[in-house]
Amino acid sequence: MLQIPSFSETDHPLIQALHHYSDSNLLAFCQRYGDQGRYFVGIFCRYAPVLYMLIGNEGRSPVQVDYLFALIWRQIFHEMRTLNLEAQGCQSLQQWLLRVTAAYQDSLAVPPVESINYDIKRTPPPLWYYLEQALDLIPPLPRLVVVLADNFHWSSMRISAHLQGLGEDLTTEDVDYWIHQGRQLILTELPEDIRTIYFPESGAVGT
């Protein structure tokens, strides 16, 4: 039986406070306030169960369903910024979400289970996209070090050897420093409300 993941952000006060807004309001806020992430998270929490159920009924493994679900929401995240429902021939955001989900679940390639390195519990889809966005904004060296450490789970020794092969004379201690610095830089590039929702220990304060 298909088990729909639970997302703790649904119960966060910043998201709970959006319940009285219509879909069209949340879409407008998403497009108007690009420096805030709560409105996209609110839409995600509202429609995640429906879209997950739609994707999960195609006979894929749970790992593949999780990954495809995250990939589809990634497309939604990027397209929603300039979405014009009328131009798309849709009468509602819900209709558009169902339409793009049906289209992408047939067109996006889903790799074999053994090659999927994604944990939906560790990195919920909205957090993944905002981390990607923040990662693009930090300098190349800490970006590479963080990706190798956090995405590929390389040890500091292996990262050091790899970088030395690229001409960067970094010791394992240097790598540890840049891992820490890179993570801090990523945090500072996240929207403040995203830090509040996903990293409350960072001291971000939602407004």
Domain boundaries, the chain: 8-117, 136-202
Write the pLDDT tens digit of every residue in 24-76.
999 999 999 999 999 999 999 999 999 999 998 766 899 999 999 999 999 99
Write the pLDDT tens digit of every residue in 69-120.
999 999 999 999 999 999 999 999 999 999 999 999 989 989 999 999 899 9
Angle, in degrees to the nearest 10, between helices 38-56 and 93-107? 50
Q: Please check whether the domain covering 8-117 is classified as CATH 1.10.1740.
A: yes
Q: DSSP letters along 162-206, please?
A: HHHHTT----HHHHHHHHHHHHHHHHHHS-HHHHHHH-GGGT---
The whole-number average pLDDT for the span 134-142 is 96
Cβ atoms of residues 125 and 69 within 8 Å: yes
Dist. CA 53–CA 65, nearest whole Å? 10
Dist. CA 10–CA 13, nearest whole Å? 9
pTM of the shown model: 0.91
Q: Write down the pLDDT at residue 204.
A: 42
Q: Write down the pLDDT at residue 151.
A: 87
Compute the mean pLDDT over every residue in the chain, rounded to the nearest whole number: 93
Dist. CA 84–CA 30, nearest whole Å? 12
